[in-house]
Structure 1
Amino acid sequence: MQSSAYKLSEFFIAFILVPVSFAIEYPIWIKIIIGLLGFLYILFVLLRVEKNKFRIAQNLDWSSFIKRTSLQLIGIAILTTSYVWFVDSSNLYVVVLNKPLLWLTILFLYSFFSVYPQELIYRTFFFQRYQSLFKNKTLFIIVNAALFSLAHIFFRNGLVMILTFFGGILFALTYRNTKSTLLVTIEHAIYGCWLFTVGMGEMLGFPH
């Protein structure tokens, strides 16, 4: 069993040092290599150390998940639609109305190749590796959300940092309550796809 010192070192490198380094100017190919190696390391730990089976749980409370996610989505939709309308109305639903094929393509690629890896790293891996190091459960959730926000620092956009922090709170709570990577991935994909749909995709690096 790996020591707390090892886990803390791993924690600092994977969730602070690497994300901050991505905000610094250096060749993109080096960043890609670092990211891929880091993800492969996390997969190795999940499979060989934490003994994950990557199976869908049979007792998921889909009804409760759908109700809660739907209510939250309604609130998010009202706030973000109002924001885009007042700040930059020309972008409101611009991609889905003008480039529906691109919209569908991006939603698919984003959900499978961005959201799922993020949730493996920031929820599945993070919770299984570090939850035991925190005595205060609320602090653990806040730290998880803050580091999830930090992962988006390379956008250099304060609004992105705020949105991802509050999104991180929601995703952390979902994972804590369900222990399901599937459910938290679906929730993350829904909210992220909505931001792209409503017209906030440009600041999040989506093609437009």
Structure 2
Amino acid sequence: MQSTRYKSLELLIIFVLIPLSFAFNYAPILKLVIGILGFSYIIYVLFKIEKIKIEIEKNINWKAFWKSTIIKLLIIMVITSLFVWFTDAKNLFTVMLNKPKLWVLILLFYSLFSVYPQELLYRTFFFKRYEHLFKNEKLFIFINALLFSLTHLFFKNTLVLLLTFIGGILFAITFKKSKSTLLVSIEHSIYGCWLFTVGMGNMLGFPS
């Protein structure tokens, strides 16, 4: 399971073929089964093969993390607010203003049950298993972001693919620097929650 050939095939199946298959129309229950089996395999490999331990990393530079994240968030806030204002003004902050309980509930559920599994898969697992397969660091980050975007192909929305690709670049860089699943999950949650808040949740599958 540690050979280059095995890992290359593993990457192809988990991060290319399965996400591509989800873009096709077939029984949702079958997609759910494939997803559960795939994630179970990943958890097995992480903990039994790679011996990963889930713990809060020591010596985290919280000051640098928050400074960087807030700056990026402010840029994202300005761009996305203007985008929604000019393209779909009726949805600007609509869930937060009209359904505050649903807004809070979705933010909590998304942060706890969607973001962390995604980062465990696309950053913790991906970096641990495949980083050594790529000699070029920038290419590795690009591939990681591209495959992260690919997993959103089932939304069939070009803007979603662009946003998730950009997000994938940001998250990969954060994880590369920090090696922290916690930090990258916090960053992912903040940006995702903002997109839902500003009114772009529908295209990303958020209930509204």
**Structural RMSD (CA):** 0.5
**What TM-score do the two structures reach when normalised by structure 2?**
0.99
CA–CA distance in structure 2, aligned partners of residues 115 and 33 of structure 1: 20
CA–CA distance in structure 2, aligned partners of residues 112 and 42 of structure 1: 18
Match of 1:132 in 2: 132
Give the number of equivalent residue pairs.
Answer: 208
Deviations 1:96-145 (A, max 9, x none): 00000000000010011110000000000000000000000000000000
Match of 1:5 in 2: 5
The alignment status of 1:116 with 2:116, answered yes or no, reads yes
* Runs of 4+ deviating beyond 3 Å: none
SS of match in other structure, 1:2: coil
Stretches of structure 2 lacking an aligned partner (at least 5 in a row): none
Stretches of structure 1 lacking an aligned partner (at least 5 in a row): none
Deviations 1:37-91 (A, max 9, x none): 1111101100011101111112100000000000000000000000000000000
Match of 1:38 in 2: 38
CA–CA distance in structure 1, aligned partners of residues 97 and 104 of structure 2: 11
SS of match in other structure, 1:56: coil
Superposition deviation, residue 201 in structure 1: 0.1
**What TM-score do the two structures reach when normalised by structure 1?**
0.99
SS of match in other structure, 2:88: helix
Match of 2:84 in 1: 84
CA–CA distance in structure 1, aligned partners of residues 55 and 41 of structure 2: 20
**Identity rate of aligned residues, in percent?**
60
Aligned pairs for 1:19-38 (under 5 A) are 19-38=19-38
CA–CA distance in structure 2, aligned partners of residues 200 and 127 of structure 1: 29
Aligned pairs for 1:33-182 (under 5 A) are 33-182=33-182
